[in-house]
């Protein structure tokens, strides 16, 4: 997702469980220092807004997807060659009515 052409060609992620298949719209793909707590399971609204804004501002591509504190978020995170940085792909649930 660091490549703009790849990101444009793959704007969603499908995630299947035993009971349903969910589609998520990617809104950011970025490097995040480990000092940024982006996986807090219960952030207050201000911290949540700040984290979402950080991801969008530092994203390698503009996915054109609006995201807010009312959205359900999926965060995929992996290590990088720098032990102090994680690469994150973040997406919001495309159709929350089907959960």
Q: What is d(CA 69, CA 92) in angstroms, rounded to the nearest whole number?
A: 11
Does pLDDT of 97 surpass 90? no
Determine contact, residues 68/95, Cβ cutoff 8 Å: no
Strand, helix or coil at 87?
strand
Q: pLDDT digits over 10-66, tens only? A: 999 998 889 999 999 999 999 999 999 998 888 999 999 999 999 999 999 999 999
Q: What is d(CA 38, CA 49) in angstroms, rounded to the nearest whole number?
A: 11
Q: What pLDDT, on a 0 to 100 scale, did the predictor assign at position 17? A: 87
């Amino acid at each position: 997702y660091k490549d703009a052409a790849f990101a444009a060609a793959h704007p969603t992620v499908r995630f299947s469980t035993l009971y349903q298949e969910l589609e998520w719209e990617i809104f950011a793909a970025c490097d995040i220092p480990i000092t940024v707590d982006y996986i807090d399971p219960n952030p207050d609204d201000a911290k949540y807004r700040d984290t979402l804004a950080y991801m969008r501002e530092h994203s390698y591509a503009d996915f054109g997807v609006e995201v807010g504190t009312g959205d359900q978020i999926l965060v995929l995170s992996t290590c990088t060659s720098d032990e102090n940085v994680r690469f994150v792909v973040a997406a919001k649930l495309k159709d929350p009515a089907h959960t």
